[in-house]
Amino acid sequence: MAEFMRIKVPIKEYDVEENESSCLSKIPCNPFTSNLADIPEEPCFFTADYNRHREDSFLITDKDKLFTSGQRSYMVYELLLRTKYADDKEKMGIDRMIKNGAYTAAYPLHDGSYMFEHSKLTRKDEMTDRQWLYDTWARPGRWYCYQPLDLIRKYFGEKVGIYFAWLGFYTVMLIPPSIVGLVAFFYGVATLFDYTPSEEICDKNNAGQFDMCPLCDGGCTYWKLHISCTYARLTYLFDNEATVFFAGFMAIWASVFLEFWKRQEAELQYDWDVAAFKQEERLRPEYETKVKQKKMNPVTKMLEPYMPEWSKYMRIFTSTVVILFMICLVLGAVLGVIIYRMIIVGLLYAANNEVIQQNAKITTTATAAVINLIVIIFLNKIYQELAIFLTNLEQPRTDTEYNDSFTFKMFLFQFINFYSAIFYVAFFKGRLGGRPGDYDRTLGYRAEECDPAGCLIELCIQLGVIMVGKQTINNFKELFLPKIMNMIRQRKSVKVKGEDEVYTRWEKDSDLSLQPPLGLFDEYLEMVIQYGFVTIFVAAFPLAPFFALLNNIIEIRLDAYKFVTVWKRPVAFRAESIGIWFGILQSVSFIAVLTNAFIIGWTSDFVPKLVYKLAISPDQSLTGYMNHSLSYFNVSEFEGEHENHTDLTYCRYSDYRYHPEHEQRYQFTTDYWHILVARLAFVIVFEHCVFFLTWLVTNIIPDVSNDVRVLMLRELYLAKEARYGIAKKEE
Q: Tell me how far apart the alpha carbons of residues 506 and 113 are, in angstroms, rounded to a whole number.
A: 11
| Residues 6+ positions from 468 with CB-CB distance below 8 Å | 547
Rounded to an integer, the average pLDDT of 367-372 is 84
Inform me whether the pLDDT recorded for 64 exceeds 70: no
Inform me whether the pLDDT recorded for 642 exceeds 60: no
CA distances for 215 relative to 343, 362, 605, 632, angstroms: 11, 14, 20, 15
Task: Determine what percent of the chain is predicted with pLDDT higher than 90.
Answer: 4
Taking only the tens place, the pLDDT of each residue in 584-608 is 999 998 888 888 888 888 878 888 8
Locate the DSSP E strands across 19-175: 45-49
> Which letter does DSSP use for residue 103 in this model?
-
CA distances for 216 relative to 69, 353, 367, 433, 645, angstroms: 68, 15, 19, 11, 15
The three-point CA angle 275-568-576 to 5° equals 10
Inform me whether the pLDDT recorded for 70 exceeds 60: yes
| Residues 6+ positions from 529 with CB-CB distance below 8 Å | 414, 415, 418, 470
pLDDT confidence band for 30 (50 / 70 / 90): very low
Inform me whether the pLDDT recorded for 202 exceeds 60: yes
Q: Tell me how far apart the alpha carbons of residues 527 and 467 are, in angstroms, rounded to a whole number.
A: 11
Q: Tell me how far apart the alpha carbons of residues 105 and 696 are, in angstroms, rounded to a whole number.
A: 51
pLDDT at 22: 38
pLDDT confidence band for 12 (50 / 70 / 90): low
Q: Tell me how far apart the alpha carbons of residues 461 and 235 are, in angstroms, rounded to a whole number.
A: 11
Locate the DSSP E strands across 413-511: 434-435, 438-439, 441-442, 445-446
Classified as helix, coil or strand, 383 is: helix
Ramachandran sector of residue 437 (left: φ over 0; alpha: ψ -120 to 50; beta: rest): left
Residue of 85, 556, 459, 479 lying closest to 238 (CA atoms): 459
188-202, 264-278, 543-557, 683-697: segment of lowest average pLDDT: 264-278
SS (H, E, C) 247-301: HHHHHHHHHHHHHHHHHHHHHHHHHCCCCCCCCCCCECHHHHHHCCCEEECCCCC
416-430, 448-462, 525-539, 716-730: segment of lowest average pLDDT: 716-730
Inform me whether the pLDDT recorded for 420 exceeds 80: yes
Q: Tell me how far apart the alpha carbons of residues 551 and 536 are, in angstroms, rounded to a whole number.
A: 18
pLDDT at 89: 57
pLDDT confidence band for 50 (50 / 70 / 90): low
Q: Tell me how far apart the alpha carbons of residues 684 and 601 are, in angstroms, rounded to a whole number.
A: 10
Q: Tell me how far apart the alpha carbons of residues 678 and 499 are, in angstroms, rounded to a whole number.
A: 81
CA distances for 437 relative to 591, 634, 639, 667, angstroms: 37, 9, 7, 13
Taking only the tens place, the pLDDT of each residue in 150-177 is 888 888 888 889 999 999 999 999 999 9
Residue of 331, 341, 345 lying closest to 376 (CA atoms): 331
pLDDT confidence band for 386 (50 / 70 / 90): confident
Exposure pattern of 298-316 as b/e (b: 16+ CB <10 Å)? eeeeeebbebeeeeeeebe
Tell me the average pLDDT of the chain.
78
pLDDT at 25: 40
Residue of 548, 544, 505 lying closest to 526 (CA atoms): 548
pLDDT confidence band for 681 (50 / 70 / 90): very high
Inform me whether the pLDDT recorded for 550 exceeds 70: yes
pLDDT at 31: 44
Q: Tell me how far apart the alpha carbons of residues 239 and 254 are, in angstroms, rounded to a whole number.
A: 21
Q: Tell me how far apart the alpha carbons of residues 210 and 223 are, in angstroms, rounded to a whole number.
A: 8
pLDDT at 113: 82
Inform me whether the pLDDT recorded for 29 exceeds 50: no
332-336, 450-454, 549-553: segment of lowest average pLDDT: 450-454
pLDDT confidence band for 32 (50 / 70 / 90): very low
pLDDT at 49: 67
Residue of 358, 347, 363 lying closest to 227 (CA atoms): 358
Count of other CB atoms within 10 angstroms of residue 529: 22
Q: Tell me how far apart the alpha carbons of residues 359 and 367 are, in angstroms, rounded to a whole number.
A: 12
For residues 16 and 396, the model is more confident at: 396
Inform me whether the pLDDT recorded for 230 exceeds 90: no
Answer whether 25's CB lies under 8 Å from 151's CB: no
pLDDT at 171: 92
Taking only the tens place, the pLDDT of each residue in 715-727 is 677 767 666 655 4
Q: Tell me how far apart the alpha carbons of residues 288 and 283 are, in angstroms, rounded to a whole number.
A: 7
